[in-house]
Amino acid sequence: MIFRQLFDPTSSTYTYLLADGGEALLIDPVYEQVPRDLALLQELGLELLATLDTHVHADHVTGAWRLRQRCGSRIALAQAAGAELVDRPLRHGDRIAFGARHLDVRATPGHTSGCLTYVLDDASMAFTGDSLLIRGCGRTDFQGGSPQALFASVRGQILSLPDDCLLYPAHDYRGITVTSVAEERRFNPRLGGEVDVGDFTGHMNNLNLPHPKMIAVAVPANLRCGQPEGGALPAEAPDWAPLTLRFSGVWEIEPMALLEHGHKTQILDVREETEFIDKLGHLPGARLVPLSQLTEHLDTLDKARPVVAVCRSGVRSAQACVLLAKAGFGQVANLAGGMLRWKIEGMPVAAEANGAPRQS
């Protein structure tokens, strides 16, 4: 059996590839990482049978619909989630086959009403979504969540597995990749040891967490299994530099890629003049055109050359990319993370208005 654990750094999401006999499943695929997943499937010579989401995510958009459009895979999700476009609504006790192996479906509601855990046929590993994280668990305060239901789910369906069963969550924010039933029974501060349902409920009801930043986009999109509004597939990746397409439709370029391919581009800094020469500095060769003035200067840009927009964090420059695309610029990308990321990664910056480079 082939097993791979993949990671999306933006949402700290783990995607899992399982394959046997040339047939593959992907658990919790991420929309922006579909090109990566397709490349891996092709390299390993695998046919993707289905995508399995553990629940309707609130912090990223699933790649299920996009993968179905690209390679004909089926979309599987809990029937209780009530999502559109699902090919196989899953219930507790269902079995999902791939090659000579299979996953058993266990309903584990509580984080949301439609959470599932997928258990490999020999109970050597289980994929717990957000129901059970490493030394933690998912929140229970939206999408039909319930601390009482989650406590029962984890204790009855996950921690009841064999001690040596490896547990793989949908997220980890510290870089930890795997845990086990025995570890979580002993060390999970929320759900292990002598914790009872009253302890757990009191803890979860007083977390007072802000809602995920992506919730307003992710939940509606995931209730369509990741289908964008209008149902349009994203364009294939441009060939002038390695780019990543975000669900917003904006292409992003990583700092190292811009350093390597920047000579082909027009670098457009859309911050204000004072920011251009502040402590963050600016990219060597960048041209300052504040976002508020961009529409007035469109005719000074060359539509035949790629444009990379830059700002402090990547928010204003993403808006600039949208404006440029609407104005007919066909080769536009946003610098991922803006000047903050550029400087953290030790890329060359200029601090003077004339753009003379210096090392940070």
Surface-to-core class of residue 135, CB atoms within 10 Å of its CB (0-12 exposed, 13-18 middle, 19+ buried): middle
pLDDT tens by residue, 249-307: 789 999 999 999 999 999 999 999 999 999 999 999 999 999 999 999 999 999 999 99
Of 14-28, 113-127, 241-255, least confident by mean pLDDT is 241-255
pLDDT, position 357 = 44
> For the chain, which residues make up each domain, given as ranges?
2-223, 243-345
Q: Classify each residue of 269-296 as buried b or exposed e, where b means 16 or more C-beta atoms within 10 Å of its C-beta.
A: bbbbeebbbeebbbbeebbbbbbeebee
Report, at the CATH architecture level, how domain 2-223 is classified.
Answer: 4-Layer Sandwich (3.60)
pLDDT, position 235 = 65
Residue 130 clears pLDDT 80, i.e. is over it = yes
State mean pLDDT over 79-103.
98
pLDDT tens by residue, 295-350: 999 999 999 999 999 999 999 999 999 999 999 999 999 999 999 999 999 999 99
CATH topology for 243-345 is Oxidized Rhodanese; domain 1 (3.40.250)
Residue 27 clears pLDDT 70, i.e. is over it = yes
Of 23-32, 87-96, 134-143, 248-257, least confident by mean pLDDT is 248-257
Share of the chain above pLDDT 70, in %: 97
Surface-to-core class of residue 166, CB atoms within 10 Å of its CB (0-12 exposed, 13-18 middle, 19+ buried): middle
pLDDT tens by residue, 200-215: 999 999 999 998 888 9
Q: Classify each residue of 63-83 as buried b or exposed e, where b means 16 or more C-beta atoms within 10 Å of its C-beta.
A: bbbbbbebbebbbbbbbbbeb
| CA 31 – CA 8 distance, rounded (Å) | 10
pLDDT, position 329 = 96
39 versus 45: the higher-pLDDT residue is: 45
